[in-house]
Protein backbone atom coordinates (compact mmCIF):
# COMPACT_ATOMS: atom_id res chain seq x y z
CA UNK A 1 0.00 0.00 0.00
CA UNK A 2 1.22 3.51 -0.81
CA UNK A 3 0.09 4.57 2.67
CA UNK A 4 2.70 2.28 4.14
CA UNK A 5 5.41 3.81 1.93
CA UNK A 6 4.75 7.36 3.11
CA UNK A 7 8.17 8.92 3.87
CA UNK A 8 6.73 10.38 7.10
CA UNK A 9 5.71 6.98 8.42
CA UNK A 10 7.70 5.93 11.49
CA UNK A 11 5.90 2.65 12.14
CA UNK A 12 2.81 0.72 11.07
CA UNK A 13 2.02 -2.02 13.55
CA UNK A 14 -0.11 -4.69 11.90
CA UNK A 15 -1.25 -6.98 14.69
CA UNK A 16 -2.13 -9.74 12.24
CA UNK A 17 1.56 -10.31 11.57
CA UNK A 18 2.78 -11.13 15.06
CA UNK A 19 4.58 -14.43 15.59
CA UNK A 20 3.47 -16.35 18.63
CA UNK A 21 2.79 -14.11 21.62
CA UNK A 22 6.14 -12.40 21.85
CA UNK A 23 6.61 -10.19 18.79
CA UNK A 24 4.72 -8.19 16.20
CA UNK A 25 6.12 -6.65 13.07
CA UNK A 26 6.65 -3.01 12.29
CA UNK A 27 5.88 -2.30 8.65
CA UNK A 28 8.97 -0.32 7.73
CA UNK A 29 8.70 2.80 5.63
CA UNK A 30 10.94 4.74 3.28
CA UNK A 31 11.27 7.52 5.85
CA UNK A 32 14.64 9.20 6.07
CA UNK A 33 14.08 9.82 9.77
CA UNK A 34 14.61 7.06 12.36
CA UNK A 35 11.83 4.51 12.44
CA UNK A 36 10.19 2.52 15.21
CA UNK A 37 11.45 -0.77 16.51
CA UNK A 38 9.51 -3.98 16.20
CA UNK A 39 6.94 -4.26 18.96
CA UNK A 40 7.22 -6.72 21.84
CA UNK A 41 3.84 -8.11 22.89
CA UNK A 42 3.39 -8.50 26.65
CA UNK A 43 0.34 -10.44 27.99
CA UNK A 44 -1.99 -9.29 25.19
CA UNK A 45 -4.03 -11.95 23.40
CA UNK A 46 -5.05 -12.40 19.78
CA UNK A 47 -8.60 -11.42 18.86
CA UNK A 48 -10.87 -10.98 15.85
CA UNK A 49 -10.13 -7.93 13.70
CA UNK A 50 -12.52 -5.36 12.23
CA UNK A 51 -13.00 -7.52 9.12
CA UNK A 52 -14.11 -10.49 11.21
CA UNK A 53 -10.86 -12.42 10.75
CA UNK A 54 -9.79 -14.54 13.70
CA UNK A 55 -6.45 -13.84 15.43
CA UNK A 56 -5.71 -10.72 13.39
CA UNK A 57 -6.05 -8.08 16.14
CA UNK A 58 -4.86 -7.73 19.76
CA UNK A 59 -6.97 -7.69 22.91
CA UNK A 60 -5.56 -5.67 25.82
CA UNK A 61 -8.16 -6.46 28.46
CA UNK A 62 -5.74 -8.39 30.66
CA UNK A 63 -3.99 -6.34 33.35
CA UNK A 64 -0.41 -5.64 32.29
CA UNK A 65 -1.02 -6.28 28.59
CA UNK A 66 0.73 -3.93 26.18
CA UNK A 67 3.04 -3.71 23.17
CA UNK A 68 6.48 -2.29 23.90
CA UNK A 69 8.05 -0.13 21.19
CA UNK A 70 10.90 2.32 20.79
CA UNK A 71 10.64 5.35 18.50
CA UNK A 72 13.96 7.21 18.25
CA UNK A 73 14.71 10.68 16.97
CA UNK A 74 13.26 14.18 17.00
CA UNK A 75 10.16 14.88 14.97
CA UNK A 76 8.71 18.09 13.57
CA UNK A 77 5.13 17.12 14.30
CA UNK A 78 3.17 13.95 14.98
CA UNK A 79 0.20 11.88 13.85
CA UNK A 80 -1.05 8.76 15.62
CA UNK A 81 -3.78 6.59 14.15
CA UNK A 82 -5.41 3.35 15.27
CA UNK A 83 -8.51 1.18 14.98
CA UNK A 84 -10.00 0.23 18.35
CA UNK A 85 -12.95 -1.75 19.68
CA UNK A 86 -13.63 -0.59 23.25
CA UNK A 87 -15.41 -2.91 25.64
CA UNK A 88 -15.56 -0.42 28.52
CA UNK A 89 -13.85 2.65 29.92
CA UNK A 90 -13.66 1.41 33.48
CA UNK A 91 -10.45 3.22 34.38
CA UNK A 92 -9.74 6.88 34.91
CA UNK A 93 -7.26 6.83 32.01
CA UNK A 94 -7.45 4.22 29.21
CA UNK A 95 -4.25 4.16 27.19
CA UNK A 96 -3.84 4.29 23.44
CA UNK A 97 -0.13 5.25 23.41
CA UNK A 98 1.99 6.37 26.36
CA UNK A 99 5.71 7.03 26.60
CA UNK A 100 7.56 5.65 29.61
CA UNK A 101 7.11 8.19 32.35
CA UNK A 102 6.25 11.51 30.71
CA UNK A 103 9.42 13.44 30.03
CA UNK A 104 9.87 16.71 28.14
CA UNK A 105 8.57 16.79 24.55
CA UNK A 106 6.95 13.35 24.94
CA UNK A 107 3.32 12.70 23.89
CA UNK A 108 0.56 10.89 25.79
CA UNK A 109 -2.62 9.71 24.03
CA UNK A 110 -5.44 8.10 25.98
CA UNK A 111 -9.20 8.03 26.58
CA UNK A 112 -10.78 9.36 29.76
CA UNK A 113 -13.50 7.46 31.59
CA UNK A 114 -16.07 9.96 30.31
CA UNK A 115 -15.23 9.17 26.67
CA UNK A 116 -13.08 12.22 25.89
CA UNK A 117 -9.77 11.63 24.10
CA UNK A 118 -6.78 13.13 25.94
CA UNK A 119 -3.62 14.28 24.15
CA UNK A 120 -0.66 16.14 25.60
CA UNK A 121 3.00 16.88 24.95
CA UNK A 122 5.09 17.62 28.03
CA UNK A 123 6.93 20.92 27.78
CA UNK A 124 10.70 21.30 28.27
CA UNK A 125 11.52 22.19 31.86
CA UNK A 126 13.04 25.55 30.93
CA UNK A 127 9.73 26.59 29.31
CA UNK A 128 7.50 25.90 32.30
CA UNK A 129 6.30 29.03 34.09
CA UNK A 130 3.50 27.57 36.21
CA UNK A 131 2.08 24.19 37.22
CA UNK A 132 -0.69 24.26 34.61
CA UNK A 133 1.83 24.73 31.85
CA UNK A 134 3.78 21.58 32.72
CA UNK A 135 1.38 19.46 30.72
CA UNK A 136 -0.94 21.29 28.33
CA UNK A 137 -3.83 18.89 27.65
CA UNK A 138 -6.07 18.93 24.57
CA UNK A 139 -9.34 17.03 24.89
CA UNK A 140 -11.78 15.92 22.23
CA UNK A 141 -15.51 15.89 22.90
CA UNK A 142 -16.73 12.48 24.17
CA UNK A 143 -16.35 9.91 21.38
CA UNK A 144 -17.58 6.82 23.24
CA UNK A 145 -20.31 5.70 25.60
CA UNK A 146 -21.77 2.29 26.50
CA UNK A 147 -23.97 2.21 23.41
CA UNK A 148 -20.77 1.94 21.32
CA UNK A 149 -19.39 -1.05 23.26
CA UNK A 150 -17.88 -3.60 20.91
CA UNK A 151 -17.93 -1.39 17.80
CA UNK A 152 -14.80 -0.69 15.77
CA UNK A 153 -13.79 2.95 15.30
CA UNK A 154 -10.72 4.72 13.92
CA UNK A 155 -9.14 7.34 16.19
CA UNK A 156 -6.47 9.82 15.09
CA UNK A 157 -4.67 12.80 16.55
CA UNK A 158 -2.26 15.29 14.97
CA UNK A 159 0.20 17.71 16.58
CA UNK A 160 1.08 20.44 14.09
CA UNK A 161 3.97 22.56 15.31
CA UNK A 162 4.01 24.92 12.32
CA UNK A 163 0.27 25.66 12.48
CA UNK A 164 0.15 25.42 16.30
CA UNK A 165 -2.82 23.04 16.29
CA UNK A 166 -3.92 19.79 17.87
CA UNK A 167 -6.66 18.01 15.92
CA UNK A 168 -8.66 14.99 17.09
CA UNK A 169 -10.46 12.73 14.60
CA UNK A 170 -12.92 9.85 14.75
CA UNK A 171 -13.58 7.75 11.65
CA UNK A 172 -11.73 10.30 9.54
CA UNK A 173 -13.82 13.28 10.67
CA UNK A 174 -12.59 16.15 12.84
CA UNK A 175 -14.07 16.08 16.34
CA UNK A 176 -12.04 19.04 17.60
CA UNK A 177 -9.29 21.38 16.44
CA UNK A 178 -7.56 23.51 19.06
CA UNK A 179 -4.91 26.19 18.84
CA UNK A 180 -1.76 25.58 20.85
CA UNK A 181 -0.82 28.75 22.76
CA UNK A 182 2.71 29.90 21.90
CA UNK A 183 3.86 29.35 25.48
CA UNK A 184 2.49 25.78 25.42
CA UNK A 185 4.13 24.72 22.15
CA UNK A 186 6.90 22.11 22.08
CA UNK A 187 9.60 22.86 19.49
CA UNK A 188 9.85 19.20 18.50
CA UNK A 189 8.55 15.79 19.55
CA UNK A 190 10.55 12.99 21.17
CA UNK A 191 9.12 9.56 21.97
CA UNK A 192 11.70 6.88 22.83
CA UNK A 193 10.55 3.79 24.79
CA UNK A 194 6.75 3.63 24.92
CA UNK A 195 3.77 1.28 25.12
CA UNK A 196 0.71 0.79 22.98
CA UNK A 197 -2.43 0.37 25.12
CA UNK A 198 -0.79 0.69 28.54
CA UNK A 199 1.66 2.67 30.68
CA UNK A 200 4.72 0.56 31.40
CA UNK A 201 6.73 2.92 33.58
CA UNK A 202 4.66 5.47 35.50
CA UNK A 203 7.81 6.64 37.32
CA UNK A 204 7.09 7.67 40.89
CA UNK A 205 3.33 7.15 40.95
CA UNK A 206 1.95 4.25 42.99
CA UNK A 207 -1.80 4.94 43.15
CA UNK A 208 -3.40 2.01 41.23
CA UNK A 209 -6.31 4.17 40.10
CA UNK A 210 -3.80 6.49 38.44
CA UNK A 211 -1.24 4.06 37.02
CA UNK A 212 -3.51 1.22 35.81
CA UNK A 213 -4.17 2.23 32.21
CA UNK A 214 -4.49 -0.83 29.97
CA UNK A 215 -7.20 -0.48 27.33
CA UNK A 216 -10.18 -2.75 27.98
CA UNK A 217 -10.69 -3.67 24.35
CA UNK A 218 -8.95 -4.62 21.11
CA UNK A 219 -6.75 -2.80 18.64
CA UNK A 220 -6.33 -3.51 14.93
CA UNK A 221 -3.43 -1.51 13.44
CA UNK A 222 -1.50 1.36 14.96
CA UNK A 223 0.42 3.90 12.85
CA UNK A 224 2.65 6.79 13.80
CA UNK A 225 3.96 9.56 11.54
CA UNK A 226 6.65 12.20 12.05
CA UNK A 227 4.39 15.00 10.80
CA UNK A 228 0.81 16.23 11.13
CA UNK A 229 -1.24 14.64 8.35
CA UNK A 230 -3.86 16.80 6.68
CA UNK A 231 -7.57 16.22 7.24
CA UNK A 232 -7.84 14.80 3.72
CA UNK A 233 -5.03 12.34 4.44
CA UNK A 234 -6.68 11.19 7.66
CA UNK A 235 -9.98 10.69 5.86
CA UNK A 236 -8.14 8.68 3.21
CA UNK A 237 -6.74 6.41 5.94
CA UNK A 238 -10.30 5.79 7.08
CA UNK A 239 -11.69 5.18 3.60
CA UNK A 240 -8.95 2.72 2.73
CA UNK A 241 -9.15 0.95 6.09
CA UNK A 242 -12.86 0.76 6.78
CA UNK A 243 -14.48 -2.67 6.33
CA UNK A 244 -17.25 -1.04 4.27
CA UNK A 245 -14.76 -0.56 1.48
CA UNK A 246 -13.84 -4.24 1.26
Spell out the per-residue pLDDT of the chain, length 246, in tens: 567 788 899 999 888 766 555 567 776 666 655 588 888 888 888 999 999 999 899 999 888 889 999 999 999 999 999 999 999 998 889 999 999 878 899 999 999 999 999 999 998 876 666 655 567 999 999 999 988 888 999 999 999 999 999 999 999 999 999 999 998 999 999 999 999 998 876 544 555 555 667 899 999 999 999 999 999 999 999 999 998 744
3-state secondary structure of 119: strand
Q: Considering only the C-alpha atoms of the chain, give the largest distance between any 2 of them, rounded to a whole number of Å.
A: 51
Contact in structure between 207 and 199 (CB atoms under 8 Å): no
Residue 241 Ramachandran class (φ > 0 left, ψ -120 to 50 alpha, else beta): alpha
pTM as predicted:
0.91
The CA–CA distances, whole Å, from 143 to 73, 89, 151, 152 equal: 31, 11, 12, 12
Between CA 119 and CA 141 the distance in angstroms is 12
The CA–CA distances, whole Å, from 156 to 53, 79, 104, 110, 176 equal: 23, 7, 22, 11, 11
Q: How many other CB atoms are there within 10 angstroms of residue 21's CB atom?
A: 13
Amino acid sequence: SSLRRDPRLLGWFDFSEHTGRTRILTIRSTAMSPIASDGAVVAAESSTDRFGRIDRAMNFGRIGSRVRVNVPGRHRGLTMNCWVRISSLDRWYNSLFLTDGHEQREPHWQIMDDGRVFFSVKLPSDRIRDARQRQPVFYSPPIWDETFSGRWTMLSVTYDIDQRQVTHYQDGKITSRQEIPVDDLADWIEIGPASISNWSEPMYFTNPEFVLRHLNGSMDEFAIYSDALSSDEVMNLFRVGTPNEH
